[in-house]
């Protein structure tokens, strides 16, 4: 199956979609350092990046008629600054809001499916009207924006059932925590998944494969977690406030609450990496250097090693001291290395992040966790594969009944 990606950045979403079995027809990015990351991995013959057709340009200038084949999946890790709680929250008034470009791509390419990732801030009450507008714009990408409003009601948005259009999409919007899918990071994100309605795709969000309860059970009850790391310690030390309540419940429980796999922690993510002191570099491991100067300040005190990491951030004024660092105890913290951050984002060890330390950390903070992208893309691929199988069966039935042969891209691929 084929994919096309907007705002690919350093390639987190691209890696996950490739792992799920999609072949990219084009990936588009304008940031020079992110493009350099992809080019360097292509020069190093990375098994996935080597075949990506990179277009270093502004998405607004890209002409989709350059794409010769049909697109099965359109993906976009959109700029999050307009909707981020940490930003100015100007939403669609921010010039960095690029949702309109995804709608343009959907209108011109008419892909079978769409996958968009953004920050949880998009679902705040402040942006509720805009999110409803986006739902309609993606559901009916070939209609003009004026088609979504009803002048007789003061320009309010119409209901979907009031709109009539042959090429429309069913749109699903979900909030997910990447930790629930095996990413060693407490990273909540909004996923928008859409399917062309004529395909009649039956899709639902993949169930969580990992849980906090399973992690706490292994740490507090069985000790499996500590044995895995060859530690004699059997008592969990400092924990963050957000999981303290679950910890008390698990301590009182007589049996596990969950049969899922345990959440992955920072200790799990860093397992096997050489341990370095601040200022040290390991020349044998890509991007493994511990920079100096990490500082604690209220609300930003580093990730705890036996929990998923705090959400890694790109930082608008340099590398964030609290989110991109590790708590060492006794009020001490240190920065994560670029490679450690890549591990936390489930970026493979053979994937190089180009640029200075600050540039590399910004690319990783902006990336979509590879494992999350792979799980969601794989579920989309499975849903599309089912529709393709049905189409082939239908064509065979038509031919056996004396109908003329129908040749489509779907039947050829299937």
Listed residue (192, 137, 103, 119) closest to 380, CA to CA: 192
Binned at pLDDT 50, 70 and 90, residue 412 comes out as: very low
pLDDT tens for residues 193-220? Answer: 999 999 999 999 999 999 999 999 999 9
In percent, the amount of the chain with pLDDT more than 70 equals: 81
Range among 24-33, 144-153, 161-170, 330-339 rated most confident: 24-33
Q: pTM for the complete prediction?
A: 0.88
> What is the pLDDT at residue 406?
35
Each residue of 29-88: pLDDT tens digit?
Answer: 999 999 999 999 999 999 999 999 999 999 999 999 989 889 999 999 987 665 665 555
Give ∠ CA 350-353-358 in degrees, rounded to 5: 150
Torsion angle defined by CA atoms of residues 132, 137, 143 and 148, in that order, rounded to the nearest 10 degrees: 10
Range of lowest pLDDT (97-106, 172-181, 276-285, 360-369): 97-106
Q: 90: pLDDT confidence band, cut at 50, 70 and 90?
A: very low
Q: Is 412 exposed, middle or buried (0-12, 13-18, 19+ CB in 10 A)?
A: exposed
- Helix (H) / strand (E) element for 33: namely helix 32-43
Model confidence pLDDT, tens digit, residues 353-399: 999 999 999 999 999 999 999 999 999 999 999 875 555 555 555 55
d(CA 215, CA 263): 5
CB 85 within 8 A of CB 116: no
Largest CA distance in the chain: 80
> Which class for 207: exposed (0-12), middle (13-18), buried (19 or more C-beta within 10 A)?
exposed
Total length of the chain: 414
The model's pLDDT over 313-328, given as tens digits with 9 standing for 90+, comes to 887 666 776 678 999 8
Most confident listed range (21-30, 83-92, 111-120): 21-30
Q: Which of 8, 35, 80, 341 is catalytic?
A: 80
Please report the pLDDT score of residue 410 as a whole number: 36
Taking residues 217-244, report their average pLDDT.
Answer: 86
8 is catalytic: no
Please report which confidence band the pLDDT of residue 101 belongs to, taking 50, 70 and 90 as the band edges: very high
Nearest to 385 by CA among 203, 222, 142, 193: 203
DSSP-derived pairing of the beta strands 188-196 and 325-329: unpaired
DSSP helix/strand/coil, 45: coil
Rg (CA), the chain: 23
């Amino acid at each position: 199956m084929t994919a096309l990606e907007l705002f690919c950045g350093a390639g987190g979403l691209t890696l996950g979609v490739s792992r799920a079995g999609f072949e990219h027809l084009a990936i588009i990015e304008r940031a020079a350092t992110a493009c350099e990351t992809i080019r360097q991995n292509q020069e190093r013959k990375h098994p996935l990046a080597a075949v990506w057709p990179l277009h270093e340009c502004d998405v607004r200038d890209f002409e989709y008629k350059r794409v010769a084949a049909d697109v099965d999946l359109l993906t976009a890790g959109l700029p999050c600054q307009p909707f981020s709680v940490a930003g100015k929250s100007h939403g669609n008034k921010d010039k960095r809001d690029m949702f309109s470009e995804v709608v343009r791509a959907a209108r011109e390419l008419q892909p079978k499916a769409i996958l968009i990732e953004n920050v949880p801030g998009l679902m705040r009450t402040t942006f509720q009207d805009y999110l409803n507008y986006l739902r309609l714009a993606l559901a009916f990408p070939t209609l003009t924006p004026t088609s979504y409003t009803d002048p007789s009601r003061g320009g309010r948005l119409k209901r979907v059932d009031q709109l009539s259009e042959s090429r429309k999409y069913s749109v699903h919007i979900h909030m997910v925590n990447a930790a629930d899918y095996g990413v060693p990071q407490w990273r909540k994100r909004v996923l928008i998944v859409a399917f062309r309605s004529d395909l009649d795709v039956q899709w639902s969000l993949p169930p969580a494969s990992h849980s906090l309860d399973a992690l706490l059970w292994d740490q507090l009850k069985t000790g499996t977690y500590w044995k895995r790391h060859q530690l004699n310690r059997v008592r969990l030390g400092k924990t963050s406030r957000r999981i303290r309540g679950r910890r008390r419940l698990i301590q009182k429980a007589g049996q596990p609450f969950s049969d899922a796999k345990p959440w992955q922690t920072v200790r799990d993510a860093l397992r096997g990496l050489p341990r370095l002191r601040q200022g040290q570099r390991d020349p044998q491991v890509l991007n493994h250097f511990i920079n100096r100067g990490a500082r604690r300040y209220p609300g930003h005190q580093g990730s705890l090693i036996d929990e998923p990491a705090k959400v890694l951030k790109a930082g608008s004024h340099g590398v964030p001291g609290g989110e991109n660092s590790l708590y060492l105890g006794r009020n001490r913290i240190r920065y994560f290395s670029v490679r450690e951050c890549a591990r936390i984002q489930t970026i493979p060890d053979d994937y190089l992040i180009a640029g200075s330390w600050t540039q590399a950390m910004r690319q990783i903070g902006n990336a979509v966790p590879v494992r999350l992208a792979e799980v969601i893309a794989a579920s989309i691929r499975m849903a599309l594969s089912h529709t393709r199988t049905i189409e082939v069966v239908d064509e065979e039935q038509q031919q056996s009944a004396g109908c003329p042969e129908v040749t489509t891209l779907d039947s050829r691929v299937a």
